[in-house]
Amino acid sequence: MEQFKHVGVIGRLGSAEVVETLKRLKKFLLSEGVHVILDKPLADVLPGHGLQVCSHNMMGEVCDLVVVIGGDGSMLAAARALARYRVPVLGINRGRLGFLTDIHPDEIEQRVGEVLAGKYIMESRFLLQAVVKRQGQPIGQSDALNDVVLHPGKVARMIEFEVYIEGQFVYSQRADGLIISTPTGSTGYSLSGGGPIMHPKLDAIVVVPMFPHTLTSRPLVVDGNTEIKIAISGHNTTYPQVICDGQVHIPASPSDTITVAKKPQRLKLIHPLNHNYYEVCRRKLGWGNRLGEG
């Protein structure tokens, strides 16, 4: 197990609960003799902290572990920034669902203490790379831990596009858009669009049409090493957007292409020893308990 002596902390801004949790985490980490490093935006809301401050990129280079205080959105942003550095990431939930940030704030001393003692589960999650090209030249790109979505933007109008997998034509489509999701993202937007839940250990990608103009179009699960290309029809009057993790927006135009493939670097995600994926699904998605349980 890795030893964590230099711990970075990233948090969601604009939340008094995050600041409260940050103070508690800081106090505990310092009591354990850990060198604590704050993300600069987070440091600005904690005057007089007396800690080292650095950017996301520098944090990836100097930290053994990064703790994210917030919700899944905070973890998604951290994953895109830190995956390239292969630094492990641990989440303390101050959001709503908390599929990725699974330590409760009241359990900081116990659960973070276990992680520092080498008692944890390490998962490897892959990200997607999306590249938007115009006349063969890249005009925008981003990574995504959850999903890459072709979306009509502010206009409620269908998009015409073609889908190619590993260079082979799959179908042409008229739909509100398309969701390309990792297993991590399969419990998010993809699920809302009718996609399957995929266990995080699966090496697979799901392609989910959004309100397709056909009764026979269904989600398609492909190998995780597959390259997917979307060709936006030149006949479109809509100028759609490519959205990564619901956070990064890349404007696209008719005749543009979007290429989506697995990113070489993976996210190292840490869970406490009591982590149970199916229990998380039961709790977050409202699945039924065992018969006889309240």
184 in a labelled binding site: no
237 in a labelled binding site: no
Neighbours of 233 (CB within 10 A): 15
174 in a labelled binding site: yes
CA–CA dist 79, 197 (Å, integer) = 21
15 in a labelled binding site: no
Tell me which of 39, 64, 72, 256 is the catalytic residue: 72
223 is catalytic: no
Q: Are strands 204-210 and 159-165 parallel, antiparallel or unpaired?
A: unpaired
94 in a labelled binding site: no
Q: Are 117 and 272 in contact (CB under 8 A)?
A: no
278 in a labelled binding site: no
Distances, alpha carbon 61 to alpha carbons 6, 216, 271, in Å: 11, 48, 22
Place of tokens 């490897």: 124
Q: What are phi and psi of 78, to 5 degrees?
A: -65, -40
187 in a labelled binding site: yes
259 in a labelled binding site: no
106 in a labelled binding site: no
203 in a labelled binding site: no
CA atoms in the 13 A half-sphere facing the CB of 33 = 3
Q: Are 205 and 224 in contact (CB under 8 A)?
A: yes
52 in a labelled binding site: no
276 in a labelled binding site: no
Q: Are 159 and 150 in contact (CB under 8 A)?
A: yes
CA–CA dist 241, 258 (Å, integer) = 10
DSSP-derived letter for residue 108 is I
Q: Are 27 and 20 in contact (CB under 8 A)?
A: no
176 in a labelled binding site: yes
97 in a labelled binding site: no
**Residues whose CB falls within 8 Å of the CB of residue 163, separated by 6 or more in sequence, listed in order:** 169, 170, 171, 172, 173, 178, 207, 228, 229, 230, 231
Known binding residues are 72-73, 146-147, 157, 174, 176, 187-192, 247
As annotated, the active-site residues are 72
Known binding residues for NAD(+) are 72-73, 146-147, 157, 174, 176, 187-192, 247
